[in-house]
Amino acid sequence: MENSDREKIDQIIKARQRANAFYLKKSTVYQSFVKMEEATFADRALSKLQKELIATGISVVMNCESCMEWHIKQAMDCGAAEKEIMEAIEVGIEMGGGPATVSARFAMNVLEYYKSEHA
């Protein structure tokens, strides 16, 4: 993985943490969004892990780097194996076609980033 992508992932994490703290303190709309997110990703008919894998694939299609970082990390925290994350990324590639292969490059770097920290 290129050092610039490692730095980019670190910046995404720091920016999200800063914004999350800011908006949780100052925005009732954001607080409502966080509650909706918690309800959405709670174990119900689908497990949190399954939902994080779905969100990973959607993140690739949307080319949302912050989303890829978040949902891959969440999936790994739920116990996802690399093969499961790869299949979720592949679903995103298929659903997004050629442009999603570009997004999948960043998803690959996020996966490698967290694997290197857990090795």
Cα–Cα dist 12/80, whole Å: 22
Q: Confidence class of residue 3 from pLDDT cuts 50, 70 and 90?
A: confident
The pLDDT score that the predictor gives to residue 46 is 98
Coil, helix or strand at residue 115: helix
If you write DSSP's letter for every residue of 24-47 in order, what string do you get? HHH-HHHHHHHHHHHHHTSSSSS-
Could you list the residue range(s) of the whole structural domain that residue 90 is in? 3-118
Write phi, then psi, for 113 (nearest 5 degrees). -55, -50
Average pLDDT, the chain: 94
Domain count, the chain: 1
pLDDT in tens, 47-69: 999 999 999 999 999 999 999 99
Lowest mean pLDDT across 1-5, 64-68, 107-111: 1-5
Residue with tokens 């570009």: 102
Q: Within its chain, how far is the Cα of 60 from the centroid?
A: 9
| CATH number of the domain encompassing residue 41 | 1.20.1290.10
pTM: 0.86
